[in-house]
């Protein structure tokens, strides 16, 4: 005769087994998604260094960074052991250099017709978007990291606050990611890389100028809260906090919000192209 206790035990354990199977499957899906993202990231990052584009960008970025730091920012005449004259120009350097990197993310895929092939692979649209974005962001981070001789220079000349320097690099990296996400969004809009570059530069310029008098003076008719809201969208006050050596969660959230919103919009645009 069957044991009623064993049958009851099996019935009680069945829901528990099913419950355990769901997280296991979800964990497998997450692992597969991360593997897809990493594969696309490696493919795109390798593609950068397979052409002279990456080396030209890095050389130009390093030359312009040195020029603005030493010649325009008067690094040696400041008489202080800090990289303030280095980080001061990053919003303006990125204004033209980062859109040059982001303009090819999707425009090139659409022009060559390979976007349909990419989206028919066993990867989702958001995995492709995040993978291509992460590859470009890592590339920008590498270009930024190659400015490390400046850190050794300022450490040799004085006793700098390394925490402040670290915060400056972190803020610069986050700002580059925000600019790049906007470039990804504009790149998905058009097949023409030049058009994508121009739209991206204008959009980033608006983010820089949002809190400046030329913009706020045009809002004299608006209530103060609206003017403050528009000014809060400016990149400058959020980046200035990092330059002072302060990691404010609101500043971090600002840059991450710009990145998430722009990448989400990129996905919406690409889905519209697929539907069309």
Within-domain flag for 254: yes
User: Which is more confidently placed, 69 or 24?
Assistant: 69
User: Which is more confidently placed, 22 or 204?
Assistant: 204
Return the DSSP state at 81. S
Q: What is the rounded radius of gyration, in angstroms, for the C-alpha atoms of the chain?
A: 24
Buried b (16+ CB within 10 A) or exposed e, 161-185: eeebbebbbebbbbbbbbbbbbbbb
Query: pLDDT band at residue 50, thresholds of 50, 70 and 90?
Result: confident
What pLDDT sits at residue 198? 94
Q: Give pTM, 2 decimals.
A: 0.84
C-alpha distances (whole Å) from 160 to each of 77, 84, 124, 240 are 16, 11, 46, 18
Within-domain flag for 155: yes
Say whether pLDDT at 30 is over 50: yes
Within-domain flag for 13: no
Query: pLDDT band at residue 173, thresholds of 50, 70 and 90?
Result: very high
Mean pLDDT of 58-76: 90
Within-domain flag for 124: yes
φ/ψ bin of 128: left (φ > 0), alpha (ψ from -120 to 50), beta (otherwise): alpha
What pLDDT sits at residue 32? 76
Q: What is the crossing angle of helices 104-112 and 90-102, to 10°?
A: 20
Say whether pLDDT at 54 is over 90: no
Residues 6 or more apart from 164 whose CB is under 8 A from it?
Answer: 82, 243, 244, 245
Within-domain flag for 175: yes
Question: Range of 243's domain?
Answer: 27-74+81-275
8 A C-beta contact, residue 235 and residue 91: yes
Euclidean distance between CA atoms 227 and 223, whole angstroms: 7
Mean pLDDT of 188-203: 91
Mean pLDDT rounded to a whole number for the chain: 82
What pLDDT sits at residue 197? 93
Q: What is the pLDDT of residues 85-126, one digit of tens each?
A: 899 999 999 999 999 998 888 887 776 666 666 666 677 888
Say whether pLDDT at 16 is over 50: no
Within-domain flag for 8: no
Within-domain flag for 14: no
Number of domains comprising the chain: 1
Within-domain flag for 1: no
Say whether pLDDT at 37 is over 70: yes
């Amino acid at each position: 005769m069957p044991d009623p206790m064993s049958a009851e035990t099996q019935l009680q354990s069945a829901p528990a087994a099913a419950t355990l199977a769901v997280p296991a499957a979800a964990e497998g899906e997450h692992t597969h998604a991360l593997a897809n993202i990493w594969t696309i990231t490696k493919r795109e990052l390798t593609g950068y260094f397979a052409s002279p584009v990456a080396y030209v960008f890095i050389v130009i970025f390093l030359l312009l960074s040195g020029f603005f730091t030493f010649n325009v920012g008067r690094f040696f005449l400041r008489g202080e052991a800090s990289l303030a004259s280095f980080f001061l120009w990053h919003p303006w350097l990125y204004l033209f250099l980062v859109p040059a990197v982001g303009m090819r993310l999707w425009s090139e895929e659409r022009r060559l017709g390979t976007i349909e092939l990419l989206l028919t692979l066993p990867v989702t649209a958001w995995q492709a978007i995040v993978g291509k974005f992460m590859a470009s962001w890592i590339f920008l981070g590498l270009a930024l990291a190659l400015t490390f001789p400046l850190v050794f220079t300022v450490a040799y000349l004085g006793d700098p606050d390394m925490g402040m320097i670290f915060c400056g690099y972190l803020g610069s990296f986050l700002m580059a990611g925000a600019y790049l996400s906007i470039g990804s969004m504009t790149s998905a809009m058009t097949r023409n890389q030049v058009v994508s570059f121009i739209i991206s530069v204008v959009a980033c310029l608006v983010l820089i100028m949002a809190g400046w008098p030329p913009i706020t003076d045009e809002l004299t008719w608006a209530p103060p809260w609206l003017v403050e809201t528009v000014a809060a969208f400016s990149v400058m006050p959020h980046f200035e906090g990092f330059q002072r050596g302060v990691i404010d969660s609101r500043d971090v959230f600002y840059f991450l919000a710009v990145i998430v919103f722009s990448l989400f919009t990129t996905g919406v645009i690409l889905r519209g192209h697929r539907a069309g």
